[in-house]
Amino acid sequence: MKNWSSDYILAQKAALDSIPLDKVARIIEVLQAAIKEDRQIFVFGNGGSAANSSHFATDLGKGASDKLAKRFRVFSLNDNVSCMTALANDYAYEDVFFRQLENFGRIGDIVFTMSVSGNSPNCVKAIDWAKAHGLVTVTLLGAQKGVLTKIADHVIVVDDTHFGRVEDAHLTICHLLSCAFMEFLRLPP
């Protein structure tokens, strides 16, 4: 067990080392523009990525916003269970994110998804919708890359296929993004 744990941690370190910091910096610029232009940020994912989405929305909306003159307008599309189940029941599960974007998304808003495979139909459909309607798209993926690699404006790929390591690396990226505003950047009002 100790050897397995040690190997897992070594692989996790490699996954973290694969994070392209230049692309993280670019997404920080996207978030800076969003707050300056009063854009909404929509975050979503499935499974562990759904939990990471809620966590990231909290970190930006509360933690980072507490340090800034203006507040992030950020919302996790995973957090309204009754809405998600109504959409899944009346339409299809692949519609649960883009149907919410139809209600709230506006040109220039940010759509931010996380997917280990990059092929989740509901994430793909939402990113397609966002692109077609002039929203800026960001996606965090695993090494499988998937369809989302080809369609999102800003893509960060973690070089691992293990769901746990990829989700952990995605949360690290989200912490880099939010902590940049908590600990380093200050925006004028």
Average pLDDT over the chain reads 96
What span, in angstroms and rounded, lies between the C-alpha atoms of 141 and 119? 10
CA distance 10 to 41: 34
Q: Which two tokens stand for residue 28?
A: 């920080």
Selection from 158, 116, 154 nearest residue 25 by Cα:
154
The residue-averaged pLDDT of 45-66 equals 97
CB 87 within 8 A of CB 114: no
User: Hey, which bits of the chain come out as E strands?
Assistant: 40-45, 73-76, 110-115, 136-141, 154-157
| C-alpha distance across the termini of the chain, in Å | 53
- pTM as predicted: 0.94
Mean per-residue pLDDT, 106-122:
98
Q: Which domains does the chain have, with CATH numbers?
A: 2-183 (3.40.50.10490)
Per-residue pLDDT band for 186 (boundaries 50, 70, 90) equals low
| Cα(136)–Cα(4) distance, integer angstroms | 41
